[in-house]
Structure 1
Amino acid sequence: MNEASAYRRRRWRAIARRHPSAFVLAAQLLSLLLFPLLDHMLGGRIVFGAFGALVLVLAVWTVNRTPAINWIAWAIATPAFVLSLLAAFTGSGPLIVWSSLLEALLYFYVAGSLIAYMMSDHRVTSDELFAAGATFTLLAWGFAYVFLVCQAWYPDSFTGAVDPERPRSWLELLFLSVTNLSATGLGDVLPIGAPARVLVMIEQLCGVAYIAIVVSRLIGLSLLRARQHERA
């Protein structure tokens, strides 16, 4: 039994070393499933804040396996980790704003590091395919945090189909970010303030550039590799 457990641990460590980006992507997607369940529960915000802190640690762990400088990620992640937990426990508005700023900065930094990792050679690995998905979620989460900060600094920046006068919730802003970055065109949450519209346009440009430059490159290299195998 001990040998089987040791084998499973070694296997998981090997998988983690080969596919670190998959763990970040899985954590991001799992948080989407957890948040609706915890949103209306007492203490749910604390649990979700702790889970978000876990995602930050995973993001730094991913940076350690990319060309990025690891200490920069830790310099951003450490205060973001502390402030996100304090904000989750206290519900303090200023702490939420500053933790959101740091989390957005970390997500953008890790996303940029993953893009550099995917662009560093002409060989497409399975981990780079996971990195493509993880980069998309990191960009979406990062802009959602930026939208949250924009709403705190500029009230009435966003409106929605339901209760248009109230501030948008975190999940609504994340929904806006994902639909905006993916260009799906769903518009029940809308930017109405000038700063919010500028941020939304910047995210649209980032989404188009990411698909045109990074994703299309991975697809092209994958097709080229498949043709070379067919000829061989």
Structure 2
Amino acid sequence: MQVLIEFWKGFRLLPSAWLLLVQFCMLWLSLITHQSLSYRAFMWCLEVLALLIIAKVIRQAPVYTFLGLSFVGGAFIFSFMILLGYASVGMQVIAHSFESLAYFMAAFGLVRYMFADRYLTKDEMFAAGAVFTLIAWGFAFLYNICQLLIPNSFQSPTTGLQSWLDLLFLSFSLQSATGLSDIMPISPAARILAMLQMFCGVMYLALIVSRLIALQYIRHAPRQQDK
């Protein structure tokens, strides 16, 4: 019991861990396809919670704090307008643009945080996972914007607009370089976005993973010298 208490005390001070937890909850709840107002309101509350955690993450980075919080505020306002029923194409494009920018800004802040630290801690481990999911979520919003502005941007077994879960699955597939998605980018804009995400996925492995390995080495280097 004492171990669980100590774990909880440490976990609640890690915004990156909370962000990962909220995003995974949103991912599991996306299995439910109900369109009732109560379900959409609950999902919106989770999205707002993720945005609030993103705001806390952005405030940890000394650069572009005001700009990042503006993105979070815009995402909150326009997503609330969509919840109220103002779900025109223009409104969705604006809301997803702010959400995408907020997620990318949070990923940028976490990357700066990891590269500024000198030793590997639990927060860096959660931050590495959060950066991956933040980038994946950000590109999923961009894919949704692309299909709203350019019809038939994606080819898949289903016709019409792709669902949010399908776009998120495409985003994770491209970023992880697994290529498991059955959705193909067709329009030039969609293919450019896909190529950019492939590049981000490769750079993530090259920069973030190597940085974590370096921090782990620095952490244990003094002990080896003492011996």
Question: Among 188, 191, 202, which residue is 1:208 paired with?
Answer: 202
1 CA distance for matches of 2:28 and 2:169? 13
User: Does residue 220 of the first structure (1) align with residue 220 of the second (2)?
Assistant: no
* TM-score under structure 2 length normalisation: 0.88
User: Does residue 64 of the first structure (1) align with residue 74 of the second (2)?
Assistant: no
Q: 1:13 to 1:226 in 2, by over 3 A?
A: closer
Aligned to 2:163: 169
Aligned to 1:83: 78
The structural deviation recorded for 1:231 is 5.3
Match of 2:60, SS state, is coil
Aligned to 1:125: 121
The structural deviation recorded for 1:138 is 0.4
- Give the residue type in structure 2 aligned to 1:138: L
Aligned to 1:105: 101
2 CA distance for matches of 1:82 and 1:107? 16
Match of 1:36, SS state, is coil
Q: Structure 1: which 5+ residue stretches go unaligned?
A: 1-7
2 CA distance for matches of 1:63 and 1:136? 16
The structural deviation recorded for 1:178 is 0.7
1 CA distance for matches of 2:125 and 2:92? 33
The structural deviation recorded for 1:106 is 0.6
Instruction: Check the 8 A contact 1:159/1:166 in 2, yes or no.
Output: no
User: Does residue 155 of the first structure (1) align with residue 157 of the second (2)?
Assistant: no
User: Does residue 51 of the first structure (1) align with residue 46 of the second (2)?
Assistant: yes
2 CA distance for matches of 1:15 and 1:49? 24
- Give the residue type in structure 1 aligned to 2:204: Y
Instruction: Check the 8 A contact 1:46/1:88 in 2, yes or no.
Output: yes
Aligned to 1:5: none
Match of 2:184, SS state, is strand
The structural deviation recorded for 1:128 is 1.0
Aligned to 1:3: none
User: Does residue 196 of the first structure (1) align with residue 193 of the second (2)?
Assistant: no
RMSD of the TM alignment (CA)? 2.1
How big is each residue's C-alpha offset from its partner over 1:44-80, in whole Å with a ceiling of 9 and x where there is no partner?
A: 3332223212211110011222334432222111121
2 CA distance for matches of 1:132 and 1:29? 15
Instruction: Check the 8 A contact 1:53/1:85 in 2, yes or no.
Output: no
- Give the residue type in structure 2 aligned to 1:98: I
Instruction: Check the 8 A contact 1:159/1:167 in 2, yes or no.
Output: no
Match of 1:122, SS state, is coil
- Give the residue type in structure 1 aligned to 2:211: R
* TM-score under structure 1 length normalisation: 0.87
Match of 1:64, SS state, is helix
Aligned to 2:21: 26
1 CA distance for matches of 2:146 and 2:72? 21
Q: Structure 2: which 5+ residue stretches go unaligned?
A: none
Identity %: 37
Match of 2:119, SS state, is coil
Question: How many residues end up aligned between the 2 structures?
Answer: 220
1 CA distance for matches of 2:105 and 2:195? 20
